Structure 1
Amino acid sequence: MKYFAGLDVSLEETAICVVEESGRIVKEMRAASEPEALIKALRKVGLPLERLGLEACSLTAWLHDGLRAEGLPAICIETRQANAAMKTMPNKTDRNDARALAQIMRTGWYRQVHVKSRQCRLWRALLVARRTVLNEMRSIENVARAMLRETGVKLGTPSRTAFADRVRELAGTEVMAMVEPLLAILSVMLKEFARLTKQVLDIVRKEEVCRRLMSAPGVGPITALAFRATVDRPERFGSSRTVGAHLGLTPALSVGRDRRPGQVSRCGDELARTALYEAAHSLLVRSKKWSSLRAWGMNIARRRGMARARVAVARKLGVILHRMWADATEFRFGKEPAALAA
């Protein structure tokens, strides 16, 4: 007899349901959402589990690693597919969700989600923290700009480090009393942002894969680490071409009037997708060295506009970076045509 389990994970408690291969419920229980508590509860059942399913959520990776370390056959499944099965239950409860997950495990109707290594999860958390600070700094700067515009003062485009001095130079006494607290907050955030950036640079300096990825034009430390943390293991992609679809940089299937033809799906990791898009912009606009990738992108820009060219180059750049990683090779600029070289 084979047995399967479904775990509906919440912040404090996890609902557990165990079914046999015929679909009959054998055991239902609840345990704290911690690896030790779940392992103890599942061991107490005393049945050999064939598969144990968890829906992807913020706690899943931590719980998955703990269960796997104890030899339990934990599987992380795609959220959308799990939700489709859960909708068949009459009422939305943790107990019913666990029942649905157990039946998914029994039938095999699921798509397994890759759980990244702990190191890659930490790297991604660092990048998210850095981006969050950057976004908040921009928000505060925009608020300060708006307050100064009310008095007719236009700041222009000072650098981030020169922003506070520029405000103090142009702002009047009345406005300055309101803006000074914002500048004090910006000063602290700027220091912490520099600390986070230094951590990224230190990691990239030691990480051989990141240094290899940075041989591609437009790819800096942030893009290299974001791509490294997102892909985790290059062998999990059967073909480099699937990386573009995985990161949401390929056209989505048009369903009714929901999407315009040619609009990218934007599924997958938003952090890596944004980093590749910014790298593509840098390659097309700032890079001066000729490469076949840049020539290809500029040809698209002339025919279809720069916005589409950025997306196309970002997708192709993701494919190239994966191939570079898998083959342990540097970026190939290609051979410049004789007419252009002259």
Structure 2
Amino acid sequence: MKYFAGMDVSLEETAICVVDETGRMIKEARATSEPDALHALLGSFNLVFERVGLEACSLTAWLHGELTSAGWPTICIESRHAKAAMGAMPNKTDRNDARAIAHIMRTGWFKEVHVKTPTCRSWRSLLVARRTILNEMRTIENVVRAILREIGLKMGTPARKDFIVRARELATGEAALLMIEPLLEILATMLREFTRLTKQVLVIVRDEPVCRRLMSAPGVGPLTALAFRATIDQPERFKKSRDVGAHLGLTPRRYQSGETDIQGRVSRCGDELARTALYEAAHSLLVRSKKWSALRAWGMKIAKHRGMARARVAVARKLATILHRMWIDNVDFNFGREQQSNPAINAIAIIAA
């Protein structure tokens, strides 16, 4: 007899349900959301499990790694599949969710989620921390601008490192300086820590050969390279390089039923950090890059006919494919050869027409 277990993990407690291959419920229990407690509970059942399912959440990577190391056949499943199965139940409880996950394990109707290595998770955490500080800095800067605008002082567009000095110069002798000074002090601290995190990213990229190779592509800087490296983790898990674009949510949604066939905007599934980084890299390649490349020429052709916004998305999707191929093949970016018009060939074509 084969047995399957489903775990609904919450911050403090985990609900566990065990079913056999016929769907009959064998055990139900609860344990604290700690690897040792879950390992002890699973061992107390004295059963040989085919699969132990966990829904993707903030604790999943940690629990998955610990339980897998302990010898349990642990599988992390995609949240959308779990939600679809759980939606069939009239009541939403941890107990019912664990039952649903157990039956998903039994039927095999799930998509396994790749659990990243600890190194890639730490890199991604670094990028998230840096982006969080950047977003909060922008918020504080906008508040300072708004306060100064109310008394007729306009900040203009100073560089981020010059923002604090410029704000103090404008507000000298004004009552508003008392209001913005605490914000400027906080901003100075955040800028210092933001710079420190950025230096950490640069140190990692400098010592990571894959990131250095990815940076040979135009528009791809240290942040984009590290975000892509941390998100993909293991490139061999994609059978085709073009699947990476869909994995990162850069392919359009589609709804097809009968005579209805609607193609919508990009799905935006997958890792937002890597998707945003690729979009910014595509913008840099199209707008700021001066060196000719076949990818840029292709993107500018799309921009001419369909607009720059769609061109950025298309280039970001193709860039994801190219970066994955560069990683797999261990080669640098190929700029291609610019096709130059030949007057003799053009004349022959005109005569032939």
User: Shift of residue 191 of structure 1?
Assistant: 0.3
Q: Distance in 1 between matches of 2:23 and 2:338?
A: 64
Aligned to 1:109: 109
Aligned to 1:29: 29
The aligned amino acid for 1:320 is I
Q: What pairs up with 1:174-323 in 2 under 5 angstroms?
A: 174-254=175-255, 261-323=263-325
The aligned amino acid for 1:72 is W
Q: Please give the per-residue CA displacement for 1:15-35, whole angstroms capped at 9, x wherever unaligned.
A: 011111111111111111011
Q: Distance in 2 between matches of 1:107 and 1:65?
A: 24
Q: Distance in 1 between matches of 2:90 and 2:43?
A: 30
Q: Distance in 1 between matches of 2:274 and 2:152?
A: 40
User: Shift of residue 331 of structure 1?
Assistant: 0.1
User: Shift of residue 255 of structure 1?
Assistant: 7.5
Distance 1:13 1:144, change over 3 A: same
So what's the TM-score if we normalise by structure 2?
Answer: 0.93
Q: Distance in 1 between matches of 2:256 and 2:181?
A: 51
**262-271 vs 56-65, which deviates more?**
262-271
Q: Distance in 2 between matches of 1:118 and 1:269?
A: 17
The aligned amino acid for 2:277 is A
Q: Distance in 1 between matches of 2:254 and 2:281?
A: 26
The aligned amino acid for 1:214 is M
SS at match of 2:8: strand
Q: Distance in 1 between matches of 2:89 and 2:24?
A: 15
Aligned to 1:56: 56
Q: What pairs up with 1:88-107 in 2 under 5 angstroms?
A: 88-107=88-107
The aligned amino acid for 2:327 is W
The aligned amino acid for 1:223 is T
The aligned amino acid for 2:213 is R
Q: Please give the per-residue CA displacement for 1:84-107, whole angstroms capped at 9, x wherever unaligned.
A: 111222321111111111111111
Q: Please give the per-residue CA displacement for 1:47-72, whole angstroms capped at 9, x wherever unaligned.
A: 00011000110000100000100110
Q: Could you tell me which runs of 5 or more consecutive residues in structure 2 were left unpaired when the two chains were aligned.
A: 343-353
So what's the TM-score if we normalise by structure 1?
Answer: 0.96
Superposition RMSD in Å: 1.5
Q: Could you tell me which runs of 5 or more consecutive residues in structure 1 were left unpaired when the two chains were aligned.
A: none
Q: What pairs up with 1:29-48 in 2 under 5 angstroms?
A: 29-48=29-48
Aligned to 2:347: none
Q: Please give the per-residue CA displacement for 1:222-271, whole angstroms capped at 9, x wherever unaligned.
A: 00000000001000000001111111111111479xxx854111111000
Aligned to 2:86: 86
Aligned to 1:338: 340
Aligned to 2:159: 159
User: Shift of residue 302 of structure 1?
Assistant: 1.1
**209-218 vs 167-176, which deviates more?**
167-176
Q: Please give the per-residue CA displacement for 1:133-168, whole angstroms capped at 9, x wherever unaligned.
A: 000000000010011111111111000000011111
The aligned amino acid for 2:114 is H
The higher radius of gyration belongs to 2
Q: Distance in 1 between matches of 2:192 and 2:317?
A: 34
Q: Distance in 1 between matches of 2:91 and 2:309?
A: 45
Aligned to 1:19: 19
Q: Distance in 2 between matches of 1:304 and 1:286?
A: 20
Q: Please give the per-residue CA displacement for 1:189-247, whole angstroms capped at 9, x wherever unaligned.
A: 00000010011001001100000000000000000000000001000000001111111
Q: Please give the per-residue CA displacement for 1:247-306, whole angstroms capped at 9, x wherever unaligned.
A: 1111111479xxx85411111100000000000111111110110001111111111111
Q: How many residues are paired up?
A: 338
SS at match of 1:31: strand
What percentage of aligned pairs have identical amino acids?
A: 71
SS at match of 1:338: coil
Q: Which runs of 4+ in 1 moved over 3 A?
A: none
Aligned to 1:325: 327
Aligned to 2:147: 147
Q: Distance in 2 between matches of 1:242 and 1:261?
A: 18
Q: Distance in 1 between matches of 2:314 and 2:92?
A: 41
Q: Distance in 2 between matches of 1:315 and 1:134?
A: 25
**301-310 vs 192-201, which deviates more?**
301-310
The aligned amino acid for 1:327 is D
SS at match of 1:252: strand
Distance 1:215 1:7, change over 3 A: same
The aligned amino acid for 1:251 is P
SS at match of 1:253: strand
SS at match of 1:15: strand
The aligned amino acid for 2:239 is G
